[in-house]
Structure 1
Amino acid sequence: MSTPTLDIILESLETAKRRQPAQPYAVPNLWRTGATGVAMVDPFDYFIDALAAIKATAPLEPDGAATDEQNWSASATVYNLFVRYNAAFDHDRDGRIGTEPLPGGFRETGTLLKAIAMLPAIRQMGVNTLYLLPLTSIGKVNRKGELGSPYAIKNHFRLDETLGEPALDLPVETQLKALVEAAHHLGMRVVFEFVFRTASIDSDWIAEHPEWFYWLRKDGDLESYGPPAFDHDTLARIYEQVDKHDFHELPEPDETYRNRFAPTPEKITATDNGYNGVTEDGGECVIASAFADWPPDDRQPPWSDVTYLKLHDAPRFNYIAYNTIRMYDEALERPELRAMELWNKITGIIPWCREAFGIDGAMIDMGHALPPELKAAIVAEARRGKPEFAFWDENFDPSPKLKEEGFSAVLGSLPFVIHDVQYIKGLLNFLNRNGVAIPFFATGENHNTPRVCHNYAGREAGRRRALFLFTLGAMLPAMPFIHSGMEICEWHPVNLGLNFNDDDRQRFPAESLPLFSAAACDWENANGLAPLRDDLRRVLDIRSRYFDLVRRGEIGSIVQPYISDPALLTVMRKSGGRSLVFAGNSNFENAVSGTMEFEQETMKLEELITGRTLTISGHKLTHDFAPGECIMFELPDTAQE
């Protein structure tokens, strides 16, 4: 019988402790007790105690296992962890996050061992699913920042070595397996994010399979390389065809742009700056970097550290554009043009990871940019022998179509409408009219969007906004989603992906962003505010009591009762003789009074969050909402007008 991986980690820690003296090591209390501040510890004792405490806990069954095991995402409460950033801390108290190990062999950047030690605190919030951003090895050429992007995948079958603690003297794979094992012991499922559409510009696959990549001729102006330009009329035609799902003869970039791309080189040479190629005619070429391909007039600069994988072998379409890497001209989509050796390699990644680490699900980055047949093959292979394996898609519409494709959940649109309560109301109306076939992420932020506290650094209004949005999300047929740091009102963006403006780009240079460089959340002081952990758990406890009601996503199931002030937002979920009502103040600076009307003339109601009594009098419930305040109450069917 194999030794549990946690025992292997513990043995390694105890051996290392005997071998070297303890070094000063600071840890935030928030990783242990829920309080702010810092404790000085012996790192070996700290991690030994943390792992021993996990082992001593009676094993927990994951939520939803007994009711709907094959669709467990519907009962998931998610904690999204970018290990390198969210498990980082200034352990030696020198005012910076060092990128090299400390003298005792422990890192200040986030590691899998530190993530294990954080698990009990994460579980105590009511979380039952751990979602990890990419953990794979990172390319070194054209790196953004000092550490590089986790999306610049150098080898899809190897891990980022910096996620391991050198003090353990164990493979990083063993440390990751221990993290999954510990999460399972605490009743949490584990989902990894996978990157299949792109690779690093110095990917290990290039030397063996140059035909899997796009190559750019060196005799052109490489500095001017970027997305192809389309004139106004051509853009209009592109949009019209795509809107109609007409992919026959989609407009191509002009000949000058297409000719910038070289055929697969015959000779490949590895250099410090990446791979150089020489074509049959003696021309030199390099790997073409990636860029935002949709909309086709997106003018973002190229993503210098990554490249698109060439999923089709079609000389006519030997270029990067919207119609080769996203929308796929139907002439390109003929089965005989598929790069099947690459497709088979891609479909083998999740099964390998599932067997190596015991994960429970996958989030597919840029799943919307994969050919449907490839995406279907990825799902089928990963679920072979494990039908309960979950798939989440980076898609915005929780439609029946995605459910039919085998997906368990989608990103959804909530993070993109939170800046205006009227947009939130519009989204809720859309969901009510169309239904919710699969759950979406109930969150106001992720690593590509502004934090919900983005414009409220260290202000109570930001804390109110975070709790308001989380409470609203808990009322929906969605997955409550905690983007690590949200529970301490972290406001610094991880990446400037979507919904940022030019001022943000001036304030947060790319090389300083946590997605690319060493950084840490404010685990010591929680940004000067009271941590939200107890509040989040309180909301999740209410959700669990009404789970059979709030999980329902049929058409007409997300009603917005009338309330007298437009700054107030209401949601009623009604099913099986029970009704649950949410009302919240979207003004996070000022109090707002609002009135709701009911058929019942008088009634006493329990407010579920605080336990206070709400009174209906004269068919009306009038409430003075503090800034950002939310109330929730159960309503008898006869009371709602």
Structure 2
Amino acid sequence: MQKTHLASLLHALKSLKSPETENHYNVPGIWSGKESGTEQVNPAAYFAQIIETILNSRENPARKPQNPDWRSSAVVYNLFIRTATAFDHDGDGSISTEPLSCGFRETGTLLKAIALLPYIKNLGANTIYLLPLTEIGTTCRKGVLGSPYAVKNPRKLDPLLVEPVLELSAELLLKAFVEAAHLLDMYVVLEFVFRTTAIDSSWITAHPEWFYWIKENECTRNYGPPHFDRETLNRIYEVVDRHERHNLPTPPSEYREQFVAQPVTLCGEEDLQGNAADGTLCRIASAFSDWPPDDQQPAWSDVTYLKMHTHDAFNYIAYNTIRMYDSALDDPATFNTSLWDEIADIIPFYQDEYQIDGAMIDMGHALPTQLKQTIVRKAREKRADFAFWDENFNPSPEILAEGFNAVFGSLPFVIHDIVFIRGLLNHLNKTGVALPFFGTGENHNTPRVCFRYPCQEAGRNHSIFIFTLSAILPTIPFLQSGMELCEWYPINLGLNFTAEDRTLYPPEKLPLFSAFSFDWENSNGLRPLNGYIRKILEIRGSYLDLILSGEAGSITIPYISQQDLFAVMRTAAGRSLLFVGNSNINDTRSGFLEFSMENCSLYDLISETHLPIKEHRLEVSCKPGECMLFELPPEL
């Protein structure tokens, strides 16, 4: 049998005989199935044992064949490896950014991610979604470790993801990770960053024409987003809402004149400076949030936008060149063809090298449609069931037509208030669901569910309500790593944060940019949600065809007498599933629903108890955040 990458990793671990590997090294007990605490292990032996178990699963006759349409039944665990697998292994109270004396790291690594796969599978997830793993730029680096979205080279991996003692490359370890996931009947989806790149991208030297350049002088020292007056802003919103993209309002001339035209010749490779054709000294223009045009997010100082079009009249960064493209840029003659070709070849490279199963496209909503279609086509030519997810908030038919299987969606922004949930579900019941969206109340750019509440128990209650509700909708269940531990600390301050939050959590304190570990040891003082998550996902699996139905009329909201209680009926192919949950996270709430049948008994799949319908009424009482699920008999 040919030696695999996972077998090579196992061999490297078993070859570690030096005394350094015998040092005290703690791992979370929860990784091995315990509820809390730590255990002291020999790291080489510990990881070797897990990998041997995974390798032995290859000969397991009980293994199920791969699902031919796995994309529709995906249950996602979102993993930012550098943070999610970090741990204070030496117990000194901090996460070191340098390797321990034994040669293993405390920040997250691909080896530890492999070791975490059985734990993730046991939760009920079958798909691992990895935030970017690529080499990170160093110019204007955010935090201590830098942002994974400041991609220096999209074909090279972050060397910080290796265990130095093993002397194995990150590339071999990623191949081993994907191999291990496949042996466990799991799928791997990588996030790809195509709209931006590090401000010191390795592409700049060979292709300065792929970037926006601004004059290097006193006037551009405070370069930032263009300013639009209120009248112009209102006009922009009006025409964009009407999908009118012809002659969109442009930024003021003083802003546009900061940018220099191509060709630019690199003149200071170390500082990445250039000379315009007339000799003007220039530098790469950093990025900022382009939409809405008056967005107040801090500047993205470590990244820059790639220049997707070559049109001379649009040689500047603004909403109409980055996302809401002016119709003049629909002309193929304006396409930056060499850049588009390079981008479109990146996913096929990862398919060949790492055998990945899918891609999440960062800022996919800001890529030209023609480029997105080419990206999808090239990947699907290699593998027809390759998954594509779009960072888009609207699950529209247009995104489906581009070849995408799911979008991020708006659920994290509405699920925290039942008034907004009711509005979304009523809309979807009328229109149907064009394509699935992620079933979650959080991701790495939004506040954690538990961040919203000063009382940790209240946050846990709300997590239960949100997870159960989202699991019975036509969504892709999405577990942000740490959610099961009731983590409250934000990963990043991307969306829905306040100015006060940004003061309290600068990049030096945020896990997306600096060393940080979840509370794997004590689950933030609460009982972890692992068992509950597993049970809900098992129930969901029993009703998958019903739950995945996105037909109009398949999501209804029955009347329930208590306003804090929320009910949703899912109906398809003659079957019905009723959800009842208490959105109040502090107090028990009781109420009733009415049915046509006078008397019968319903079985709650979660508590595994029977509740009677008496005189047409089902009386329910739910503790804070508690949920119930009933399969209804046809006569109801």
Q: TM-score range by the shorter chain?
A: over 0.9
1:452: which partner in 2? 449
Q: 1:265-298: CA deviations, max 9, x gaps?
A: 54314465x4111222221111000000011122
2:313: which partner in 1? 316
Do the aligned partners of 2:215 and 2:280 also contact (CA within 8 Å) in 1?
yes
**1:224 counterpart SS class:** coil
**1:21–1:540 Cα change, 3 Å:** closer
1:58, CA displacement in angstroms? Answer: 4.7
Paired with 1:20 and 1:508, the residues of 2 have a C-alpha distance of 36
Do the aligned partners of 1:141 and 1:305 also contact (CA within 8 Å) in 2?
yes
Identity of aligned residues (%): 55
**1:40–1:471 Cα change, 3 Å:** same
Task: List gaps (5 residues or longer) in structure 1.
Answer: none
1:471: which partner in 2? 468
Q: 1:390-417: CA deviations, max 9, x gaps?
A: 1000112222222221101110111011
Task: Summarize the alignment of residues 139-538 of structure 1 with structure 2, pairs less than 5 Å apart.
Answer: 139-264=137-262, 266-270=264-268, 274-456=271-453, 459-538=456-535
Paired with 1:469 and 1:59, the residues of 2 have a C-alpha distance of 39
Do the aligned partners of 1:564 and 1:594 also contact (CA within 8 Å) in 2?
yes
1:623, CA displacement in angstroms? Answer: 1.2
1:418, CA displacement in angstroms? Answer: 2.6
Q: 1:447-493: CA deviations, max 9, x gaps?
A: 00000111336622111111111110110111111000000100000
1:62, CA displacement in angstroms? Answer: 9.2
One-letter amino acid of the structure 1 residue matched with residue 446 of structure 2: T
Do the aligned partners of 2:209 and 2:264 also contact (CA within 8 Å) in 1?
no
**1:59–1:363 Cα change, 3 Å:** farther
Do the aligned partners of 1:154 and 1:202 also contact (CA within 8 Å) in 2?
yes
1:222, CA displacement in angstroms? Answer: 3.0
Q: 1:13-70: CA deviations, max 9, x gaps?
A: 111235754221111111112321011111111111111111122568998944xx2x
Do the aligned partners of 1:569 and 1:584 also contact (CA within 8 Å) in 2?
yes
Paired with 2:583 and 2:21, the residues of 1 have a C-alpha distance of 53
Paired with 1:344 and 1:392, the residues of 2 have a C-alpha distance of 20
More displaced stretch, 501-510 vs 626-635: 501-510
| Count of residue correspondences | 635
Select which of 100, 103, 109 maps to 1:102. Answer: 100
1:245, CA displacement in angstroms? Answer: 1.2
1:83: which partner in 2? 81
- What is the TM-score with the length of structure 1 in the denominator? 0.97
Paired with 1:74 and 1:580, the residues of 2 have a C-alpha distance of 19
**1:266–1:76 Cα change, 3 Å:** closer
Do the aligned partners of 2:311 and 2:334 also contact (CA within 8 Å) in 1?
yes
Paired with 1:629 and 1:179, the residues of 2 have a C-alpha distance of 37
Select which of 129, 132, 142 maps to 1:131. Answer: 129
- What is the TM-score with the length of structure 2 in the denominator? 0.97
1:51: which partner in 2? 51
**2:204 counterpart SS class:** helix
Do the aligned partners of 2:21 and 2:43 also contact (CA within 8 Å) in 1?
no
The answer on 1:587 being equivalent to 2:584 is yes
The answer on 1:549 being equivalent to 2:549 is no
Do the aligned partners of 1:129 and 1:188 also contact (CA within 8 Å) in 2?
yes
**1:27–1:196 Cα change, 3 Å:** same
Paired with 1:488 and 1:515, the residues of 2 have a C-alpha distance of 18
Do the aligned partners of 1:558 and 1:573 also contact (CA within 8 Å) in 2?
yes
1:143, CA displacement in angstroms? Answer: 0.7
Paired with 1:612 and 1:136, the residues of 2 have a C-alpha distance of 49
Q: 1:52-105: CA deviations, max 9, x gaps?
A: 111122568998944xx2x43210000000000001001111111111111111
**1:130–1:638 Cα change, 3 Å:** same
Paired with 2:315 and 2:192, the residues of 1 have a C-alpha distance of 25
**1:59–1:366 Cα change, 3 Å:** farther
More displaced stretch, 399-408 vs 124-133: 399-408
Select which of 603, 607, 611 maps to 2:608. Answer: 611
Task: Summarize the alignment of residues 52-67 of structure 1 with structure 2, pairs less than 5 Å apart.
Answer: 52-58=52-58, 65-66=66-67
**1:350–1:59 Cα change, 3 Å:** farther
1:112: which partner in 2? 110
1:26: which partner in 2? 26
Task: Summarize the alignment of residues 560-599 of structure 1 with structure 2, pairs less than 5 Å apart.
Answer: 560-599=557-596
CA RMSD in angstroms comes to: 1.6
Task: List gaps (5 residues or longer) in structure 2.
Answer: none
